[in-house]
Structure 1
């Protein structure tokens, strides 16, 4: 599958407003979760802080925990572009590793907007079981989408275990990388996200040698 060179259409005004509202809810939820904890924070409090109604919060997020997990558009675009360019004739794992390395590069070691948000979320996840459950649920949904794309690229069906094994392996690798990096940063250590990913990848490769 070759990478498309066509220009990505600019979002409409309605989409931009929707994304802005979504981001405001996310920022408000994160602030409140950090101050009071997830259990003690209500949807009404999130709505008031974001300047919207509780009904609007529920329209965007079925569960309040989901509000803290909004992915940034640039990261979503990276995943979409990488999966669209997936080559079904080449080995799966190296392509998924490259995709994850590009995703993590976009977080700029916690210095970009998306990187700061991710660091805040994962520091919270280590203390909030319901937020961890929401994260795993979101990860499972993305996994199904990735597996479907890989199956299409390979021209196979559900009997072929390669797409799921490859996607699950790299998703676990990515999650372990982010968890480890966030925990080390929270402990005051000066660690680099990409270096952590490469260490995790090398450790995973040694397991199957």
Structure 2
């Protein structure tokens, strides 16, 4: 077990299963990703308001009724990459050590996840970048992402509390939200830079966001 001064060893992302266990769940996850890709491509081409559920369903080869078995709204369909991202983080939380402060460990998990994005060159990074770029011009997608974040935060808070035992809901939520807030700001800065033709080192941007979080006086001077 890591000591208080040693970083925790988290499972590598390529060793964290992204697929549910049962065949039925694997098929469902695959369908969700396929429909999500269709929705995202249509939103990018035509905008969310001009894209209907019927059109998404038709291009995905399913009925509108089937679509709503998978997603409550058309915006949620485009957020499959975000959901998968947060599922990866949740899976890695199991490796947290009770002998170290929780926040640095959550931040280490996010560093590993963001590093795997390879600044948009990996498949997962490209998918998340596409969603974040679209969120810049589509308020309904940003609202849907906020709703999804809230749901996933509650799940992760409960998981942390059960895993570590000595955390109450308030402390667990503050820790999860603190780590996630820096991630959201870094992802937005990344998307903005790409959208305007610039380049941003995502991991370095996240590190700067964390530094500003931990030093409010420095943030006020910046």
Would the TM-score normalized by the shorter structure come out above 0.5?
yes
* Superposed displacement of residue 16, structure 1: 3.2
Aligned to 1:39: 49
Distance change >3 Å, CA 92–CA 208, structure 1 → 2: farther
The equivalent residue for 1:78 is 88
168, 172, 197: which one aligns with 2:206:
197
Where does structure 2 lack aligned partners over 5 or more consecutive residues? 3-8
In 1: Cα distance, 2:163 partner to 2:178 partner: 18
- Report what 2:5 is aligned to: none
Q: Quick check: 198-207 or 74-83, which moved more? A: 74-83
SS at match of 2:197: coil
Alpha carbons 2:33, 2:80 under 8 Å: kept: yes
Structure 1 vs Structure 2 CA RMSD: 2.7
Of residues 171, 175, 194, the one that matches 1:162 is 171
Distance in structure 2 (CA, Å) of the matches to 1:58 and 1:175 = 28
Does 2:108 correspond to 1:98? yes
8 Å contact kept, 1:30–1:121: yes
CA distance in 1, matches of 2:159, 2:21: 24
Q: Which whole-Å CA distance do the structure 1 matches of 2:22 and 2:170 have between them?
A: 39
**CA separation of 1:185 and 1:26: change in aligned 2, threshold 3 A:** same
d(CA) in 1 for partners of 2:196 and 2:10? 42
Give the conservation status (yes or no) of the 8 Å contact 2:10–2:109: no
**Distance in 1 separating the partners of 2:69 and 2:47:** 22
Cα shift at 1:106: 2.4
Q: C-alpha offsets along residues 112-167 of structure 1, whole Å, 9 cap, x if unaligned?
A: 11111111111111111110000000000111111112222332464x63211111
Q: Which residue of 1 aligns with 2:36?
A: 26
Distance in 2, matches of 1:10 and 1:134, equals 24
Distance 2:94 2:196 in 1: 38
